[in-house]
A and B are shown apart, each in its own frame.
Chain A
Amino acid sequence: MIEVKKLIKRFGMKSVLRGVDFRVERGEFVALLGPNGAGKTTFLRILSSLARPSLGEVKVAGYSLPNEAAQVRARLGVVSHMPLLYGDLTAQENLEFYARMYGITEYAIRITEVLDMVGLASRRNDLVRTFSRGMAQRLAIGRAVLHDPEVILFDEPYTGLDQDASSMLDEVLKSVAAQGRTVVMTSHDLARAEDLATRFDILTRGVIAASSSREALGSNNLLTFYKQALAA
């Protein structure tokens, strides 16, 4: 579903990604872990067509980037630490706007389904600027799945959330993944990643330093695996 070969991204003289090889099969939930500045966000921005690779091959849902970016975007949902929502529009209006941008014709029923899924049906007519951070983040997930994408990218979705909001987001993420979608999530929260993902990749110094499935981790916990990958 996602195939990346020898990906290099440079900003001026600085190489942020130095030859990343990455492959995700359909239905996998991959947690992309790594320290600050490892290049996780840059990597997700390339996968989502918001940034161009300097070198290398990137394919998402069978389409290559950047040449087939529009086809990729139609099959992709993105949730970042910013909700990408308009504070002066209601939850319903935000979703209607994105439905029109994605060319969804019969969107009324779909919006109701999505608002039910993220638990915001009762707040559909409230302005997003009145939402708590957790509610905005749940609505952001609703926005990302509105067009029923095959692949979803989460970039630090737990940033700024309190314990309750994080637990609610866990449930939403699990329901999104349970629908058979391919998910890639970057996070600093190893416990949450361990709970949700089926595979763990460690990105450090611009390369994937280690990769392991949940089964292959065996009795080792994720923290040990993470520390070993960073030390290598």
Chain B
Amino acid sequence: MTNFLQATFAVFRKDITAELRSREIIFAMMVFSMLVIVIFNFALELDPATRKEVTSGVLWATFAFAGTLGLNRSMAVEKDRGCLDGLLLAPVDRSAIYFGKVLSNLAFMFIVEAFVLPLYSALYNVNLFNPGLLLVILLGSIGYTAVGTLLASMAVQARTRDVLLPILLFPIAIPVLLSAVKASTGFLNGVEMAEIWPSLNLLIVYDVIFTAVAFMVFDAVVEE
């Protein structure tokens, strides 16, 4: 167990250190998110009430697109430099590598989300600093990253990996995105908790199931 945790945090620490130097992934994700938000802002010239209605959809579309970009780059860095083999040669349970990558991808997602929320609030004049919404973002990001990291490690083996990841990821992530949008809308519109709970429960179940599935199949996915 000690070796497992040590390897998980070694992968996480390595990814964060490398990213702080290159800023390759986070910068691309931030620019992309900013563009998505600005484009939506000009495309949807809506009255304030309607803006509040579409906020969750725009936010989660931004997170999903930017997240896919980050997931792709994070695994491509390992593959292009042959480092994935270096990781797989380590005498640790390979799911430690998976959890290390999930933690770093999650950290990149959170950084981008922390950038997007104030930007969105300023552009759309909507207050997004709602504890309930932050909880939904946490749960949704975990689910999206858990399944995204697994699929990115699968897609990275293919020549068409840039196209393949969204094709694989979006259909599988539909439950998490729909629940996240529904729960976010509920919190932003001050809906009763009883109406929000089913979506929150679905998010929690999705997080647990996909983390468990990824833990079981990651070894088979990365092996030749």
A contact residues vs B (CB 8 Å cutoff): 45, 48-52, 70-71, 73-74, 76, 78, 80, 82-89, 93, 97-98, 100-103, 127, 143
Q: Interface residue count for B (Cβ, 8 Å)?
A: 27
What is the CA–CA distance of A49 and B159 in the complex, to the nearest angstrom? 23
B171 within 8 A of A: no
Q: Given the known A-B contacts A100-B6, A100-B7, are A70 and B85 also in contact in the complex, defined by CB atoms under 8 Å? A: no
- Residues of chain B lying within 8 A (CB to CB) of residue A52: 223-224
Q: Given the known A-B contacts A52-B224, A89-B14, are A84 and B86 also in contact in the complex, defined by CB atoms under 8 Å? A: yes
25 A-B residue pairs with CB within 8 Å: A51-B223, A51-B224, A71-B91, A73-B89, A78-B85, A80-B82, A80-B85, A82-B81, A84-B85, A84-B89, A85-B83, A85-B86, A86-B81, A87-B81, A88-B18, A88-B21, A89-B17, A97-B10, A98-B86, A100-B6, A100-B10, A101-B7, A101-B87, A102-B90, A103-B92
User: Is the contact region of chain B dominated by helix, strand, or loop, or is it mixed?
Assistant: helix
B163 within 8 A of A: no
Nearest A residue to B3, CB-CB:
A103
B contact residues vs A (CB 8 Å cutoff): 3, 6-7, 9-11, 13-14, 17-19, 21-22, 81-83, 85-93, 223-224
Which of A83, A93, A127 is the one whose CB lies under 8 Å from B82? A83
- Residues of chain B lying within 8 A (CB to CB) of residue A93: 14, 17
Determine how close the nearest CB of chain B comes to the CB of A97; give it in whole angstroms.
5
Q: Given the known A-B contacts A84-B82, A88-B22, A89-B18, are A101 and B90 also in contact in the complex, defined by CB atoms under 8 Å? A: yes
- Residues of chain A lying within 8 A (CB to CB) of residue B83: 84-86
What is the CA–CA distance of A192 and B3 in the complex, to the nearest angstrom? 39
Q: Are A97 and B14 in contact (CB under 8 A)?
A: yes
What is the CA–CA distance of A83 and B92 in the complex, to the nearest angstrom? 20
What is the CA–CA distance of A49 and B81 in the complex, to the nearest angstrom? 19
- Residues of chain A lying within 8 A (CB to CB) of residue B6: 100, 103
Closest 3 CB pairs of A and B: A82-B82, A84-B86, A100-B10
Determine how close the nearest CB of chain B comes to the CB of A111; give it in whole angstroms.
14
- Residues of chain A lying within 8 A (CB to CB) of residue B85: 50, 78, 80, 82, 84
Q: Are A70 and B89 in contact (CB under 8 A)?
A: no
- Residues of chain A lying within 8 A (CB to CB) of residue B9: 100
- Residues of chain A lying within 8 A (CB to CB) of residue B10: 97, 100-101
Q: Are A86 and B18 in contact (CB under 8 A)?
A: yes
Determine how close the nearest CB of chain B comes to the CB of A190; give it in whole angstroms.
26
Determine how close the nearest CB of chain B comes to the CB of A24; give it in whole angstroms.
19
Q: Are B91 and A50 in contact (CB under 8 A)?
A: no
- Residues of chain A lying within 8 A (CB to CB) of residue B7: 100-101, 103
